[in-house]
Structure 1
Amino acid sequence: MRLGLSLGYWGAGPPPGQGELVALAEDLGFDSVWTAEAYGSDALTPLAWLGSRTTRLRLGTGVVQVSARTPTATAMAALTLDHLSGGRFVLGLGVSGPQVVEGWYGQPYPRPLARTREYVAVLRQAFAREVVRLDGEQYRIPFPGGTGLGKALRPTVHPLRADLPVLLAAEGPKNVALAAEVADGWIPLFYSPHDDAHYRAALAEGFARPGARRTADDFEVACTVPVEVDDDVDAAADRVRPMLALYVGGMGARGVNFHYEVFARMGFEAECARIQELYLSGAKAEAVAAVPLAMVEKVALVGPRAKIADDLAAWEASPVTTMLVSGPPETLRTMAELVG
C-alpha cells in the first residue's frame, strides 16, 4: 500500500504552507499528491502550481467535477498537465451531487452513471488522439444543431500517454461497479475495511463485465483516510467528528445524501438519522457530539501510534492500494514510518 498526500480544496483562501508540505511528502517517499474542488478553488490550477515543485510525485485530482467542464475541456487539461509533469498526472473524476451540479454549475443532475460513462468514452478518444465523436444521450459531439458547421476534431497536442489513467470517485455499489468496468481506478470516500463486502462484490461485478478495462490486479484504489495521532482516542476522534457530521448531516438533502447512505450501510442508520436531524435544524455542535466513536473508527485511524499501527492491518488487507492522508508534518512522518 502506497501513501498519497491529500490536500483537498481551499477554504476562504490558499492554505499556508502547502508547498513545504508537498516537498516533505516527496522527501518522505510518498507516492502522490491530490487536490479537489467543490465550489471555490478548482483542482487543476493548484495541482499544476504545486506539481512544478516536485520531480517524482504523481499528481492526482481527487476529484475534478464532471459537470464543471465538458469532457473535451477536461481532456485538454489532462493532456496539458501530463506533458508538463512528464507523465505524472492522474485524472480523478466525480459527479458531485445535485446541490452543487444544479445549484452551482446550472447543469441537470439526473442519470449521473450514464453521464460518467459517456464522459469517459470521450476522454479515451481524446487521449488516443482519435477524432472525437459521440452520439450519446448526455453528450453529442459534434453538436448536431446550431450553425450546422460543427466539425469532428482530434487534439492538436500529441498525448504523452494514450493510457493516461482515469479514476472514478464512487460511493454507491452501481457507481463502484462502473469504475471497475470503465476506469483505471476507484476513489472511495468513507470506505471501511471492516464493512467492505458490498464494495468487493461491486468491484467483482465491474471486472466481470465484457470489455472491462482492468482486473483487480492492476486496478488502483486511492482512498482518503483521516489520521489523528493522540494518546487520547476520544480527543483524536473529536478532530474527525465535525467532518463526519458535516457530510452525513449537511452534504445533501433529506433523502438524497450519498454519504449518509454509506454509513447507514455500515449499520449506523439510526445514528445518521439523528445527526442529520440535528445538523439540518441548525444544532451543529450537537450533531458533531452525536457521531459515535465506532463510526469514526470505521473510516479513520485515531489514537496512539501503537493503536494506529495495529489498525493499519485491516487497511493493508483491503483492496486499497493508495492511502491518502493529510495533516501536519508530524502526521506525515508517522505514516511514512508505519506504512514504510
Structure 2
Amino acid sequence: MKLGLQLGYWGAQPPTNTGELVAAAEESGFDAIFTAEAWGSDAFTPLAWWGRETRRVRLGTSIVQMSGRAPTSIAMHALTLDHLSNGRVVLGMGVSGPQVVEGWYGVPFSKPLARTREVVEIIRKVLAREAPVTNDGPHHPLPYTGPGAVGLGKPLKPIVHPLRADIPIWLGAEGPKNVAQTAEIADGWLPIFYTPRSAAMYQPWLDEGFARPGARRTRDDFEIAATCHLQITSSEEERRGVIDGLKPVIALYMGGMGAKEQNFHKNVFDRMGYEHLTGQVQELFLAQEREEATALIPDELVEEMHIVGDEGYVRERAAAWEETGVTTLLLSCRDAAEVRRVAEVLA
C-alpha cells in the first residue's frame, strides 16, 4: 500500500505550509500528492504550482468536479500538466452534488451516471488523439448543434500531442451503481468514508463492474485510494483531543453537505450502519445547532474512519486498510515533521 498526501481544498485563505508538506512527501517516499476543489480554490493550479518543485511524486486531483468544465477542457488541463510533470498526473473526477452543480456551476445535475460515462469517453478520445473528437451523447454533444448554435462547430483534435494516452482516470463514487460503473470504466476509485469495517459492502458492487463486457480493469490492476486522517499520538489525552477534533468535520458531511432531501454523504453513513444517528445530526446541523450535532458523533465512528493512536496501533490499523484492497492511503498531515514521521512508521 502506497501513501499519498491529501492537501484538500483551501479554506478562507490559502494554507501557508503547503510547500514544506509537498517537499517532505517527495523526500519521504510518499507516492503522490492530491488536491481537491469545492467552490473556492481549484484542483489543478496548486498541483502545477507546487508540483514544479517535485520530480518523483504523482500529482493527482481528488477530485475535479466534472460539471465545472467541459470534458475537453478537463482533458486540456490533464494533458498540459502531464507534459509539465513528465507523466505523473492522476486525473480524479466526480459529479459533486446538486447544490454545487446547479447552484455554483449553473448546469443540471440530472443523470450523473450517464454524464460521467460521457465525460470519461470524451477525455479518453482527446488523449488518444486518433481522430477529431465527436460525441453523440445528450450531455456533451460535439460538435454542438442545439439551441443557439451558429452551425459552424468543427470536430477537432488537440493541437498538443498528449504525452500519455492512458493518463489514469480515477472516479469518486459513493452509491452502488456509481461504484459499479467506476469499476467498469475507470482505472481507480476514490471512495469517501471508506473504512475496513465497511469494505465488504463495496465488494459486490465492484465485482459487478469488473464483470461487465469491456471492463477496463480487473481487481488485480485497479487502484483504490482511500482518504483518512492519520495521526500518531503519545498519550491517551492527546488521542482524545484528536478524536474530538475530528467530530465537527464528520458532523458537517453527515448533516450539512448537500440538501436535506439529497445528501449523498449522509447516505454513505446510513449504509455504514449509522442511520439511527444521521437524521438527528442533519436536523440539528441544518438548524444551526452545530455543537449539538457534533456532540452526537460517537467515538467509534471517528475511530472507524481515521487512524489515531501510538505507533503500534497506527501500523496495525494501516495494515487492516491494506488487507481490504486499498492500494493508496491518502493522508492529511499538519506539518513536514508529521509527514516524515508517518513515512518512517509505515515504511
TM-score normalised by length of structure 1: 0.98
For 1:268 and 1:333, the matched residues in 2 are separated by 35
Could you give the per-residue CA deviations for residues 287-336 of structure 1, whole angstroms, max 9, x where no partner exists? 11110011111211122332222222210101210000011234322321
For 1:234 and 1:43, the matched residues in 2 are separated by 32
1:143 counterpart residue number: 144
In structure 2, what residue type is equivalent to 1:332?
V
Could you give the per-residue CA deviations for residues 194-219 of structure 1, whole angstroms, max 9, x where no partner exists? 12222111111111100100111111
For 2:165 and 2:316, the matched residues in 1 are separated by 41
2:324 to 307, 311, 318: 318
Q: How does 1:261-340 map to 2 (within 5 A)?
A: 261-328=267-334, 329-340=336-347
Contact 1:173 1:198 (C-alpha < 8 Å) held by counterparts: no
Contact 2:232 2:342 (C-alpha < 8 Å) held by counterparts: no
SS class of match (1:39): coil
SS class of match (1:91): strand
In structure 1, what residue type is equivalent to 2:270?
A
Contact 1:236 1:303 (C-alpha < 8 Å) held by counterparts: no
2:246 to 236, 240, 248: 240
How far apart are residue 275 of structure 1 and its match? 1.2
2:266 counterpart residue number: 260
For 1:269 and 1:208, the matched residues in 2 are separated by 31
How far apart are residue 74 of structure 1 and its match? 0.5
2:47 counterpart residue number: 47
SS class of match (2:214): coil
2:95 counterpart residue number: 95
Q: Are 1:164 and 2:167 counterparts?
A: yes
Moved more, 236-245 or 41-50: 236-245
Moved more, 113-122 or 283-292: 283-292
How far apart are residue 65 of structure 1 and its match? 0.4
2:228 counterpart residue number: 225
SS class of match (1:205): helix
Structure 1, unmatched stretches of 5+, are none
Moved more, 281-290 or 227-236: 227-236
TM-score normalised by length of structure 2: 0.96
1:125 counterpart residue number: 125
Could you give the per-residue CA deviations for residues 99-119 of structure 1, whole angstroms, max 9, x where no partner exists? 100000001001111000000
1:108 counterpart residue number: 108
How far apart are residue 339 of structure 1 and its match? 2.4
1:19 counterpart residue number: 19
In structure 1, what residue type is equivalent to 2:281?
I
2:190 to 180, 183, 187: 187
2:59 counterpart residue number: 59
Q: Are 1:203 and 2:210 counterparts?
A: no
Contact 2:184 2:212 (C-alpha < 8 Å) held by counterparts: yes
How far apart are residue 282 of structure 1 and its match? 0.8
Could you give the per-residue CA deviations for residues 221-277 of structure 1, whole angstroms, max 9, x where no partner exists? 111111233322432211211110110010012231111111111111111112111
For 2:217 and 2:33, the matched residues in 1 are separated by 23
Runs of 4+ in 1 over 4 A off after TM superposition: none
For 1:50 and 1:237, the matched residues in 2 are separated by 30
In structure 1, what residue type is equivalent to 2:344?
E
For 2:182 and 2:313, the matched residues in 1 are separated by 33
For 1:77 and 1:161, the matched residues in 2 are separated by 13
Moved more, 308-317 or 152-161: 308-317
For 1:330 and 1:195, the matched residues in 2 are separated by 31
Say what the alpha-carbon RMSD is for the aligned residues. Answer: 1.1
How far apart are residue 174 of structure 1 and its match? 1.0
Could you give the per-residue CA deviations for residues 46-69 of structure 1, whole angstroms, max 9, x where no partner exists? 110010010001000001100000
Contact 1:71 1:123 (C-alpha < 8 Å) held by counterparts: yes
SS class of match (1:201): helix
Structure 2, unmatched stretches of 5+, are none
Q: Percent identity?
A: 56
For 1:132 and 1:168, the matched residues in 2 are separated by 22
For 1:288 and 1:333, the matched residues in 2 are separated by 31
1:74 counterpart residue number: 74
Could you give the per-residue CA deviations for residues 69-107 of structure 1, whole angstroms, max 9, x where no partner exists? 000011111110000000001100011000100000001
For 1:330 and 1:266, the matched residues in 2 are separated by 34
For 2:136 and 2:169, the matched residues in 1 are separated by 22
